[in-house]
Chains A and B, each alone.
Chain A
Amino acid sequence: MVGIFVRLKLRLLANGLQDTARLVGFAIGTAFTLAMTPLATIGWLGLRDSPELAADVGVVVFTAIALAWVILPLGLFGTDDTLDPARFAALPLRPRTLVTGLYVGAFVGLAPLATTALLAGSVFGLSDGPGSMVIAVLALALEVALCVAVSRALASALSGILRSRRGRDLAVLVGVLIGGSGQLVMLGTAYVSGSADLVHSAASVLRWAPPGMTAWAAADAAAGHYLPAIAGLAGAALADALLLLWWGRTLTGAMVTTDASTARSARPTGRRAWLQRVHPGGRAGAVAVRELRYNWREPRRRSAWVAAVLFGGIGPFLLLRQDGAGAGGVYVVCLTAGIVGLQAANQLGVDGPATWMHVATWRGPRDIRADFAGRNLALALIGAPILLVIALALAAIAGSAGSALEPFALACAVLGIAFGVGNVASALAPFPVPESTTNVFSGANTGQGCLAGVVVIGSMAGTGLLSLPLLAAPLLTRLDRPGQAAVVYLGGIGYGLVVAWVGRYLAGVMVYGRQPELLGLLTRREAG
């Protein structure tokens, strides 16, 4: 039975790779693993000389990797759909057989392989002599086993929640928050304190959790304490067994509640009635209102805003503190504007397959321009107040509240430029962003990550390049002629508006010429 699951997984992997996009994703993942493995191994070997630090680092790294596997099923990356228990629901398999098969099958894949490769160096780094090396190998095996088990068990336990729409919406947000705040915590701690002490105090706690236990066991063995080492491994193995037991139980539940996704939630009528009536005239107005609703209701877009505020908002504060710059530091808000403006980089893609509803009504490039105008307007209506708040906060920190206005004006100009660049990028290279689907196990569009990266980096570069003339603004105002500052900054905003308009114009022409092709691009994934 186990053999069948492994062969199934291998066959699915091989078939998946016939798709170019997936192949590219797989190749990038493989290249990353191949590039990182020697570095990680060198790191582990470097720890050999200081066993105490090695133990601490081992505990922290093992725990961090296990945590990554915990977050995985939360939909941040999307786990693979090949082992969705619902697909086996109709077969007469006992949970025990199914768990064993799914568990072993789950080890086949890039992620477990990469985990093993990155941690392989620990066999040398956390050992001293052949006896302890055996323990270190066992510790590594148990760590990988724990990672796979916890991710699977959690996915299956959460699948009930994640099968409902609201649960999924929430999960997307939670994923972004965990990812974002994790980054910030890392940034913050690196910024605040020296590293060795911190690692040691973290390790002294984490060594009692199963993943840390495995690393600690290896370190124990290296120090010659074999009894506690074996006890530690036994503890981790017990945890693994308990996870599998739990998985088996939730699996039975998950299989018979496959269709819970039909559960619906009625929306109270009239609660948002005032918003129903808000309908500014014209096509652009209609699009703007729809976009505002979408930015609030669509979990991925809401998360994109959360991420933009986390990175674009809190980052500058750290930068400002580090710099110790005065009022001039408030201009960092222009960077935030660039990050917020990235939301414009894939304006067609975020509508995905629903784009046909626009395509069916386009009578010419003018309509497309109007659509982009509506989208830009909606983004500006959300983005500009955020920028204002950040500019005011930065100015307050810098000690002169009055110094917020000019940086804010320039930030608005940058936002306009980012929209112009984003409009062109949206027309050139749209990529579909999948609506969160009915099931935890179906991942994001594998392989699209590469294109998305190119678009984002290209948009940032374009925005940066076109923003260069704005550098002149603070210099020009130094001339100190009365009223000149206002003219300069209004000119800056005007420049931003012009760039946005040119971007809309180009996008209109480009999109109108290849409507069916764009529609095909945006629908492709769903058709399969």
Chain B
Amino acid sequence: MSTANGSGRPATNAGSDGLAVRVRGLWKRFGAQVAVAGIDLDVPAGRFCGLVGPNGAGKTTALSMITGLLRPDAGTIEVIGRQSWPDPAAVKAEIGVLPEGLRLFERLSGLELLGYVGRLRRLPGAEVDRRAGQLLEVFDLDSAANKLVVDYSTGMRKKLGLAAALLHNPRALFLDEPFEGVDPISASVIRDVLTRYTRSGSTVVFSSHVMELVERLCDWVAVMHRGQIVAQGPLESVRAGQPLEQAFLSIVGAGDRGGDGLTWLGSSSG
């Protein structure tokens, strides 16, 4: 049990090939529906990686499998040089996760929740409480520290979930839609914390369908569409000189369906 859990930085944040995440031939079906159709994904260590795609592209399913919370049908996943499957325990110890839906222990206060998660990760109690206090302060949740999570707003929940994911100082962070439903102030706090985190050599992978956000934050992009990765690489090479949104629309081949048929719409046409 080597560890990123202690107070010092981990010795390495990548596998032997310099990749934080290495996915090959990953498949997942739900009944007749193919959610993830054989993707290959590489994320070099220390990158701020955005996984973009429309709703239903398979981002959440892919992230769940990579983080060891969903069993793949086929394929291999390596995170920080460790296999996620069949036994994801080693990977789970090294990463932080913010899954979709943010289902937290609602009847704990924010402070209690962080204290609980830290102890589940077998961190020393005093250290947990110290880190929890600091994280709550950084995320501007200290005034709500003793309020039950059930009474938190969406933005507060995201911040608390992120704090819980960071608590054990993971080597890589996987966040599902961390900015969805978050007000601009909270979003900027989250952005700052994540940027600081990657600057130290750790990796962030987050999913989003907001292109502007990904464009502003990320230096590495993977584009998902209908269960497949249709483009990936450094931001500049994926967008090829256009705004990311344009690049994305041309990559997935979305036609111009801006409502040609809706001739009646608008006040002038009567």
In the bound complex, do residue B164 and residue A265 qualify as a contact, i.e. CB atoms below 8 Å apart? no
B17 contacts A by Cβ under 8 Å: no
B140 contacts A by Cβ under 8 Å: no
Other-chain contact of A276, B71, B112, B150 (Cβ < 8 Å): B112
B 97-114 to A, binary, CB cutoff 8 A, 1 in contact else 0: 101010111111101100
A523 contacts B by Cβ under 8 Å: yes
- C-alpha gap A285/B112 in the complex (Å): 14
Other-chain contact of A267, B68, B106, B109 (Cβ < 8 Å): B109
The residues of B that contact A266 with a CB separation of less than 8 Å are 147
B121 contacts A by Cβ under 8 Å: yes
Other-chain contact of B1, A269, A357, A359, A363 (Cβ < 8 Å): A363
From 322 to 337 in chain A, residues with beta carbon under 8 angstroms from any chain B beta carbon are: none
A290 contacts B by Cβ under 8 Å: yes
The residues of B that contact A232 with a CB separation of less than 8 Å are none
B70 contacts A by Cβ under 8 Å: yes
The residues of B that contact A351 with a CB separation of less than 8 Å are 105
In the bound complex, do residue A297 and residue B119 qualify as a contact, i.e. CB atoms below 8 Å apart? no
- C-alpha gap A361/B120 in the complex (Å): 6
Q: How many residues of A contact B (CB 8 A)?
A: 45
Residue of A nearest to B124 (CB): A281
B125 contacts A by Cβ under 8 Å: yes
In the bound complex, do residue A363 and residue B92 qualify as a contact, i.e. CB atoms below 8 Å apart? yes
Sort chain B's interface into a size bin.
35 or more
In the bound complex, do residue A523 and residue B103 qualify as a contact, i.e. CB atoms below 8 Å apart? yes
In the bound complex, do residue B71 and residue A516 qualify as a contact, i.e. CB atoms below 8 Å apart? yes
Residue of A nearest to B107 (CB): A297
The residues of B that contact A293 with a CB separation of less than 8 Å are 107-108, 112
A294 contacts B by Cβ under 8 Å: yes
A interface: dominant SS: helix
Other-chain contact of A354, B68, B104, B148 (Cβ < 8 Å): B104
A352 contacts B by Cβ under 8 Å: yes
B51 contacts A by Cβ under 8 Å: no
From 61 to 115 in chain B, residues with beta carbon under 8 angstroms from any chain A beta carbon are: 67-71, 88-90, 92-93, 97, 99, 101, 103-109, 111-112, 115
A7 contacts B by Cβ under 8 Å: no
CB distance from A303 to the nearest CB of B (A): 14
In the bound complex, do residue B151 and residue A265 qualify as a contact, i.e. CB atoms below 8 Å apart? yes
- C-alpha gap A435/B109 in the complex (Å): 16
A 140-174 to B, binary, CB cutoff 8 A, 1 in contact else 0: 00000000000000000000000001000000000
The residues of B that contact A520 with a CB separation of less than 8 Å are 70
From 510 to 525 in chain A, residues with beta carbon under 8 angstroms from any chain B beta carbon are: 515-517, 519-520, 523
Chain A residues at the B interface, C-beta cutoff of 8 Å = 165, 262, 264-270, 272, 276, 279, 281-283, 285-287, 290, 293-294, 297-298, 351-354, 356-364, 435, 515-517, 519-520, 523, 526-527
Sample (15) of A-B pairs whose CB atoms are under 8 Å apart: A270-B146, A276-B112, A283-B122, A286-B119, A293-B108, A353-B101, A353-B103, A354-B103, A357-B104, A360-B69, A362-B92, A363-B89, A363-B92, A364-B89, A526-B103
